[in-house]
Amino acid sequence: MEEPVLTVNARRRPLTGVTAHTTALDWLRSTGLTGAKEGCAEGECGACAVLVATPDDDGGTAWTAVNSCLVPVAALDGQEIVTAEGLGDPESLHPVQRGLAEAGGSQCGYCTPGFVCSMAAEFYRADRAPGAAAADTPRGADGADVADAEHGPNGFDLHALGGNLCRCTGYRPIRDAAYALGGPDEGDPLAERRSRPAPAPIATDLSAGGARFVRPATLDAALRLLHDEPSAVVVAGSTDLGVEVNLRGRRHPLLVAIDRLEGLRTVRLDDDSVELGAALPLSEIERRLDGRVPLLAQLIPQFASRLIRNRATLGGNLGTGSPIGDAPPALIALGARLVLASSDGEREVDVADYFTGYRETVLAPGELIRAVRIPLPLARLTAFHKIAKRRFDDISSVALGFALDVDGGVVNAACIGLGGVAATPLRAHATEVALVGEPWNLETVRRAAAVLAGEGTPMSDHRASSEYRSLMLGNALVKLFHRDAESATDRAGVPA
397-417 pLDDT per residue, tens: 999 999 999 999 999 999 999
Which of 97-111, 120-134, 283-297, 356-370 has the weakest average pLDDT? 120-134
291 pLDDT higher than 90: yes
What is the pLDDT at residue 3?
86
Task: Please tell us whether the domain made up of 204-257 is placed in CATH 3.30.70.100.
Answer: no
404 sits in which H/E element: strand 398-407
What is the pLDDT at residue 138?
41
What is the pLDDT at residue 491?
65
- In whole angstroms, give the CA distance from residue 349 to residue 188: 49
| Nearest one of 401, 404, 348 to 373, comparing CA atoms | 348
For residue range 441-475, list pLDDT tens digits in order: 999 999 999 999 999 999 999 999 999 999 999 99
User: What's the average model confidence in pLDDT over 64-83?
Assistant: 98
121 pLDDT higher than 60: yes
| Phi, psi of 490, rounded to the nearest 5 degrees | -65, -40
Beta pairing class for 5-8 and 80-82: parallel
| Nearest one of 172, 199, 184, 161 to 80, comparing CA atoms | 199
494 pLDDT higher than 70: no
CATH 3.30.43.10 domain position(s) in the chain: 204-257
- In whole angstroms, give the CA distance from residue 278 to residue 136: 21
What is the pLDDT at residue 142?
38
- In whole angstroms, give the CA distance from residue 357 to residue 354: 10
Instruction: Report percent pLDDT > 70 for the chain.
Output: 94
CATH 3.30.390.50 domain position(s) in the chain: 381-492
What is the pLDDT at residue 16?
85
Q: Taken in order 375, 379, 380, 381, is the CA torsion positive or negative? A: negative
CATH 3.10.20.30 domain position(s) in the chain: 5-193
- In whole angstroms, give the CA distance from residue 425 to residue 356: 10
> 381-492: which CATH topology?
Enolase-like; domain 1 (3.30.390)
Q: Are the CB atoms for 369 and 315 separated by under 8 Å?
A: yes
- In whole angstroms, give the CA distance from residue 404 to residue 415: 6
Q: In whole angstroms, what separates CA 154 from the centre of its chain? A: 25
Which of 47-56, 228-237, 480-489 has the weakest average pLDDT? 480-489
145 pLDDT higher than 50: no
136 pLDDT higher than 70: no
- In whole angstroms, give the CA distance from residue 354 to residue 325: 13
170 pLDDT higher than 90: no
Q: Taken in order 391, 396, 398, 400, is the CA torsion positive or negative? A: positive
Give the ranges where 303-426 is alpha helix by DSSP (H): 306-309, 314-319, 327-333, 351-354
Hey, is 253 helix, strand or coil?
A: coil
Q: Sheet containing 211-215: give its strands across.
A: 204-208, 211-215, 254-257, 233-235
For residue range 180-194, list pLDDT tens digits in order: 999 999 999 999 999
What is the pLDDT at residue 391?
79
pTM: predicted TM-score of the whole model, two decimal places: 0.93
User: Radius of gyration of the chain from Cα atoms?
Assistant: 23
CATH 3.30.465.10 domain position(s) in the chain: 267-375
Q: Are the CB atoms for 45 and 113 separated by under 8 Å?
A: no
Which of 30-44, 129-143, 427-441, 454-468 has the weakest average pLDDT? 129-143
> 5-193: which CATH topology?
Ubiquitin-like (UB roll) (3.10.20)
User: What's the average model confidence in pLDDT over 237-251?
Assistant: 96
Q: What is the CATH number of domain 267-375?
A: 3.30.465.10
Q: What is the DSSP string of 180-240?
A: T--PPPTT-HHHHHTTSPPPPP--EEEEETTEEEEE-SSHHHHHHHHHH-TT-EEESS-TT
Cβ count near 494 (within 10 Å):
8
Which residues, 6 or more positions from 277, have their beta carbon under 8 angstroms from its beta carbon?
263, 264, 265, 266, 267, 370, 371
Q: Are the CB atoms for 121 and 160 separated by under 8 Å?
A: yes
What is the pLDDT at residue 140?
41
Q: Are the CB atoms for 158 and 301 separated by under 8 Å?
A: no
Which of 229-233, 318-322, 359-363, 491-495 has the weakest average pLDDT? 491-495
- Computed over every residue of the chain, the mean pLDDT equals 93
496 pLDDT higher than 60: no
316 pLDDT higher than 50: yes
Q: Are the CB atoms for 476 and 484 separated by under 8 Å?
A: no
- In whole angstroms, give the CA distance from residue 78 to residue 83: 16
